[in-house]
Amino acid sequence: MLVFLFAFLFNQHYNRFVKELEPGLPGHPEVSMFPSRSFYLDPKKQEFIVGNSNTSQIIKLSDVNDIFEIERQSWQVEADIGIDTLEMLLITPMGSLVVMPPLRKWLNNLSSREKGEVSRKAEDAIVSTYKAINPRIKISKYQLHHYDAHAISVFIYDHGIFTVQTLGEYAVLGMNSQLQLPAINYRDPKLREAGESDISLPAEYSLHNADLPEQRLSLYAGIGTIAWLAKTASSS
């Protein structure tokens, strides 16, 4: 009984906390989020760009060995935080990533050929990041871009939804609507159910079966590259 009471009180506090932080997203006042920061990977410079507006922090891939180091460094820096709905990708205080509607719309408008090109570039970023942390690893072309539990692959689907997978046993960064502490708070349960098909809604992604530092960082590099490609294409 006490467990259920605690869960109820925690949920009430959590919902109220989120509501006080962000009253709602444009077009969806019933959807709120924790303040988060933009998150990208420039694959050419091998740099993570984390932050908002004029407070972006550049973190070189060579200076970190795990995504937790990036989270710690970025949140130690004083910066404006909030919800910039024009950004493609956000990293939350809990470490999950939120794909924002501009990125979902951009992905949804790509042709099949363009989706393939984006997937290959993201896979290249996964490979280079994995090797940077674990240089002894050998990755063959047979471990790239195919449906397999141990493959490195990025697949982009309809409605701006995708999966990012690295070496391991289904080590993925994928959409998760059942997070224990979600950064997105849908006060209407129907919206949560519609999240996969409604590109006007943000979608939260989290790690699954990624126990090694090289798995975690390479997955974030993959999705960060997708966001960077969208950002640079939209601004050109």
Query: Range of 153's domain?
Result: 36-235
Residue 167 lies in a domain: yes
pLDDT at 84: 66
Judge contact between 209 and 170, C-beta under 8 A. Answer: yes
Judge contact between 43 and 129, C-beta under 8 A. Answer: no
Question: What DSSP state is assigned to residue 118?
Answer: H
One-letter amino acid for residue 161 of the chain: I
| Domain tally, the chain | 1
Residues 39-80: pLDDT tens digits? 999 999 999 999 876 677 889 988 988 888 887 766 554 444
CA distance 152 to 183: 27
At residue 47, the 3 state secondary structure works out as: strand
List of the chain residues with pLDDT < 70: 1-24, 26, 53-54, 73-84, 141-142, 145-147, 149, 176-181, 191-195, 236
From the centroid of its chain, how far is CA 82? 16
pTM: 0.83
Residue 180 lies in a domain: yes
Residue 21 lies in a domain: no
Closest among 121, 111, 120 to 41, alpha carbons compared? 121
CA distance 215 to 212: 5
Judge contact between 177 and 116, C-beta under 8 A. Answer: no
Residue 28 lies in a domain: no
Residue 60 lies in a domain: yes
Residue 116 lies in a domain: yes
Instruction: Quote the tokens at residue 82.
Output: 């909030």
Residue 24 lies in a domain: no
Residue 2 lies in a domain: no
CA distance 232 to 7: 43
pLDDT at 60: 92
